[in-house]
Amino acid sequence: MPLKTPEEYLESIKRETNLYMFGERISKFWDHPYYKIIEPSINTVKKIYELAQQDEFKYLMTAQSHLTGKIVNRFTHIHQSIDDLLLKVEMQRLLGQKTACCFQRCVGFDAANALYSITWEIDNKFKSDYHSRFKDYWIEIQENDLFVAGSMTDSKGDRGKRPIDQTDPDAFLHIVDENNKGIFVSGAKVHQTGFLNSHQAIVMPTLALRKGEEAYAVSFGIDTTAKGLTMVYGRQTSDTRKLEEGILDIGNFKYGGQEIFVIFDNVFVPNKQIFMKGETEFTGGLVNRFAGYHRQSYACKTGVGDVLIGAAALIARYNGVEKASHIRDKLVEMIHLNETLWSCAVACSTKGFKRDAGNYEMDMLLANVNKQNVTRFPYEIGRLAEDLAGGIICTLPSQQDMENPDIGSLIQKYLSTCADVPVNDRYKLLRFIENLSMGVASLSYKTESLHGAGSPQAQRIMISRQANLEDKINLVKEILDLS
């Protein structure tokens, strides 16, 4: 099958689901008033399919599959070189620039690349057939140009207890039964980016497991409409503005992200889609490799940062202060922070290496440094954007007031700045900055920058493990002739 068009993608996800929004069960989300809230996130995914069709971007958006030799969407590609790692982050920056939000496909992409080498290593030790199963599964994904979500984060229950010690065993997703055809799993996966918009999902354990926790050491592929799956749509700041008439108050009215709370109730998984079942000693490697790939993926924030910097520069122009030295200095600082993020994304890709399975992996230390910076710099970039926009991003009247026949003209009069700047253009831009720094899009720019791909402390732990302090100590000993 050739690469899907955006229209073909949209039709392909119109499948009945067990979805809840605002306390209401919705089976056909595309035919419901709440679709206005969901649609921007679908538009974002459609953009991926659109750019893959355009000659200008095919070198970034597509790749030649090493499994079939065919051209596939890069989000279904298994990295085969350092160039693939670099093209990945370039693609992510481009998509951040084009949508100014989370484009939802990185988690499944990174899960697949982590599983590719882990399944090979499990098979190498136990003579199992997980790797061949995974390759067959992934060929089907590539052949049908499917969107695959990634599911790692469990609800976790009491954070002070291991999975096996929880009062409710479902606090971590686990195997509850099995037969000769497959397994049954129960639990929940939270913060599931783009799950409703995807065709399939790769499920993984959320932490390194120990002996006795074999039931939790499970990884598999699953159709997102499988029996027993329940989705609950996550609330986002100002999300119901999308239900109002008009677009001015929305901010980024074209694109958006999506997070789903997913409940697994005795969900059946066939053997051919199981990629780990009880191999606790490999769970830490899977979690760490996925986290490394995903921390590399935060190159996306540089693309969103590019847009926010552009918005800050434009609002300064609309306000008539773009030439002021302190304004220009703040923009330089925003650029400096953004390009520092980009430098780490490029560095961890350039320093990648080949696994025994044949696929390529980023440099783990630099990927974690990259993500640690991402937990900080977007907040400062956002703060500076708010500084340049002014407090009016928090106090603007509504679009309805702007269009009210009695007071609308007065609001327009007092919102006017430079003679050549339409009031509505400035209004839309202010709402856009509000959206990126405080509204719906701030989820994918600021909050996701902090918590996505693990907490800041998780990266610090990995940095400590990867830092080779003894090697650094030995450098001093050698210079000073110390014993």
CATH assignment at residue 329 = 1.20.140.10
pLDDT at position 443, please?
61
Q: For 351-407, where are the alpha helices, taking DSSP H only?
A: 364-374, 377-389, 399-402
216 is catalytic: no
> Is 233 in the active site?
no
User: Is 448 labeled as catalytic in the residue annotation?
Assistant: yes
Q: Which of 90, 121, 213, 259 is catalytic?
A: 259
Averaged pLDDT for residues 226-240: 95
> Rounded to 5 degrees, what angle do the CA atoms 248, 36, 250 make?
20
Spatial strand order in the sheet of 218-223: 148-151, 200-203, 218-223, 274-277
- Helix or strand run (H / E) with residue 90: helix 82-99
For residues 163 and 212, what is the distance between their CA atoms, to the nearest angstrom?
A: 10
3-state secondary structure of 404: coil
Q: Which residue in 294, 302, 360, 361 is the catalytic one? A: 294
Confidence label for 323 from pLDDT (cuts 50, 70 and 90)? very high
From the list 298, 318, 427, 445, the catalytic residue is 298
Per-residue pLDDT tens over the stretch 30-42 = 999 999 999 999 9
Phi, psi dihedral angles at 472 (to 5 degrees): -70, -40
Nearest to 294 by CA among 77, 109, 433: 109
- Would you place residue 14 in the very low, low, confident or very high pLDDT band (cuts 50, 70, 90)? very high
- Domain membership of residue 80 (yes or no) is no
Digit-coded pLDDT (tens) for 414-452: 999 999 999 999 999 999 999 998 865 556 687 777 777
Name which of 72-86, 341-355, 448-462 the model is least confident about. Answer: 448-462
Residue 365 lies in a domain: yes
SS3 186: strand
Query: What integer pLDDT is reported at residue 371 of this predicted model?
Result: 92
pLDDT in tens, 370-381: 999 999 999 999
- For residue 122, is it within any domain? no
Residue 154 has pLDDT above 70, yes or no: yes
How far apart (Å, rounded) are the C-alpha atoms in residues 421 and 67?
Answer: 54
Any domain includes 44: no
Single out the catalytic residue among 44, 62, 76, 193.
193
State the pLDDT at residue 445. Answer: 80
The mean per-residue pLDDT over the stretch 128-139 comes to 98
Residue 176 lies in a domain: no
* 302 catalytically annotated: no
Q: Which residues contact 326 (CB under 8 A, 6 or more apart)?
A: none
Is 283 a residue of the active site? no
**Residue 243 within a domain:** no
- The residue length of the chain stands at 483
Residue linked to tokens 């008439």: 245
Instruction: Look at residue 452 in the predicted model and tell me its pLDDT.
Output: 76
Mean pLDDT over all residues of the chain?
Answer: 95
Longest dimension (CA), the chain: 85
| Number of domains making up the chain | 1
Question: Is 373 strand, coil or helix?
Answer: helix
Above 70 in pLDDT, residue 84? yes
Domain that holds residue 450: 294-480
- Scored b (16 or more CB within 10 A) or e, 326-340 reads ebeebbeebeebbee
pLDDT score at 454:
77
- Residue 405 within a domain: yes
Residue 284 has pLDDT above 80, yes or no: yes
pLDDT at 311: 96
Q: How confident is the model at residue 2 (pLDDT cuts 50, 70, 90)?
A: confident
In angstroms, the Cα distances linking 450 to 34, 91, 95, 260, 442 are: 28, 22, 20, 18, 11
Active-site residue (options: 102, 224, 255, 279): 102
pLDDT of res. 412: 95
- Whether 394 is catalytic is no
298 is known as an active-site residue: yes
d(CA 170, CA 156): 9
Q: Which two tokens stand for residue 472?
A: 């650094």
Question: Of the listed 17, 99, 106, 445, which one is catalytic?
Answer: 106
Confidence (pLDDT) at 439:
63
Q: Residue 463 above 70 pLDDT?
A: yes
Among candidates 184, 275, 196, 173, which has minimal Cα distance to 228? 184
Quick one: pLDDT at residue 34? 97
Q: What is the pLDDT of residue 345?
A: 97
